[in-house]
A and B are shown apart, each in its own frame.
Chain A
Amino acid sequence: MAKKHVICKTDELPLGERKIVTIGSRSIGVFNLKGEYFAMLNICPHQGAPLCEGPICGTNLTVDEYRYEYAHEDELVRCSRHGWEFNIRDGTAFEDPKIKAKTYPVSVEDGQVVVHV
């Protein structure tokens, strides 16, 4: 059964920001994505690098011709080491959803961000 861990007050994690916290032996990234909160294990499924410490970004959609269709602005985190991009909401790798970073449920209780690990 998951335990609740209070991270901070909601106003201490503003829109578009993240916090890296240690819960037990785990390093976890907690994100404020457009007013919703998400938590992801700070380990990249690729080679174990600190995934959550990379840029928060958008990406370019797959297209048929030479052009760029930018999308998902601020909805992805790009691994700090090798640049694989993951959806902050569900941890799936943008390019291959079969690859998934570990995520944790987050709730807001009494104005506080709570991660369930």
Chain B
Amino acid sequence: MIPEIGQFALILALVISLIQGTLPLVGAAKNRTQWIAVARPAARGQFLFVITAFFCLMQAYVTSDFSVANVAHNSHTLKPMLYKVSGVWGNHEGSMVLWVAILAIFGLAVAEFGSALPPSLKARVLAIQGLIGFAFLAFILFTSNPFLRLDPAPLEGNGLNPILQDPGLAFHPPFLYLGYVGFSMAFSFAVAALIEGRVDPAWARWVRPWTLAAWCALTVGIALGSWWAYYELGWGGWWFWDPVENASFIPWLVGTALLHSAIVVEKRDALKSWTVLLAILAFSMSLLGTFLVRSGVLTSVHAFASDPDRGVFILLLLVFVIGGSLTLYAIRAPGLKGGGLFAPISREGALVLNNLLLTTGAAVVLLGTLYPLILDAFGGGKVSVGPPFFNTTFVPLMVPVMLAAVIGAMLSWKRGDIAAVLGRLKIAFIFALIGVGVTSFFAGTLKDVLAAFGIGIAAWLIAGSAVEIAERIALFKGPVANSMRRAAGLPRSAWGMAIAHGALGIMVAGITASSAWRVEKIQLMQPGDVVEISGYSLIFEGAKKINGPNYHGDRGIFTVTKDGRTIAALTPEKRDYPAERSQTTEAGILTMVSGDLYAVLGDKNQSNAAWTTRIYFNPLVAWIWVGAILMAGGGVVSLTDRRLRVGAPKTARQKTRPQPNPVGA
């Protein structure tokens, strides 16, 4: 019964989304108030029915209703409750329902909190959201229905891949989709603005919070995924330039560029048509990411061609959304007149450089990800594009971005004085030099020298962000109370930027150190054996059998000592999940500021009762995720800025309205 309610709710949502996607659009064009007014109740209705469907599916998972095919294929009665719930989006059909559920939540948010928006813009934004919802709901109902029944229902489900039964991964997809779908808001605003023919600072002020929120969620989502890979896949890698990872990284890069260019539209009324283009691209890349992961095209072009229903549907959707919006852009964008002029050396100029390099970086990752597919599709044979390609092409593009991030933040608008800024950054430069000097002192190879520059860049970002804040609050230049008062009065967006840029530095330090100075020891160990690694001694105490709720396996015990003192115990596990017939490794990790001790239990050697063990020391590796989370935190701080708060755009609009600068006039 309940799955049928879910199915029915999805159908109703489909019909409502079609109404939401058409009537308000026509109404806004013909100035029919009543048609425009349909948008809000439609957005509410779509939310109500999509959320109903979502919870119906969740109910089926929680109660292990194996008469629902999706549940039978992806769940199991013995699975812990957390993974029954997260199992809803741990599969293709369910994840698409999560996708439209988040879309409906965003739609509701515009409908309810967008009272400051001009009615026609709001109607158009909601209509575009409705059309996106329609496309995805149709995709679900016609190719990926999660509510299909099985008759007879099996007694037990197939279970969820045990490697996915993990708290980090349970929350990874919702964050990722919050990011992807959040960019749909920027997209809808961009398309609505193109239809209206008007992009002004007020528009940027509405778009920025959505983009910022989406960006924060995507940052957390990617960080969770990489953290999970680090502790779960069992060899301590955290980024593999895997197509699936790249699929989420490309929208992140474009979204980061969008975040920065929207500032220029807001503050200086320039870069409008470029910002609109970025908004379209950010969502297009999110869709492309969904397509790459969902269509099976990554496994092989031929697998895609043999089971084409879903793939062809998403491909058509892509062509329609990207092609349609870019056509609209081509027609309307030339009419978007740029506002404020600026010299190349200026805050705007630095943000343009940021955009150039970030979008080039996104293009490079896209090229590397799609190249094997395209070459194969055109009969060019198979080629692999792996980490070496991305490391040699992408990383050099990011170096100037990071160097310029500190300088750009201190340049003034319109025309900046780079020599003066560099003078003010003396201290940051000294820190960077110390970073390079200290690390290259220990350098032995070329790789170490490159890594020393990585540490230098990290120090530059951290110290540079600190200098920027110190200057703005006149630290050490007067009474402390004065600085405190200034610090409290500093806009939240200034704090947000400094935190995010400094956090990037922390992340760069983690990436550099863990890639360059990782230590690895692989050996056979018998109980009582000791491994020395990076100043720590790990004593292998032996292994014992364990039994979990839906698995059994072995747990190794290592006692960690430093200078004769016991500091921790590491307990790596090897698990066997009988229901899913697969094994996982759970690394034993001791996280410290200086780095992680990482132990993996391998197989038992039958002849002499010794275990294969892998011990790693990953220097500064935790800094990567601390940096990523802080970076998202900087975004959240910026989001609380007065200017971006709900209601604030009202005053902004009054200020900007009288200016006769509508586009195309």
* B is a partner of A: no
A interface list, Cβ under 8 A from B:
none
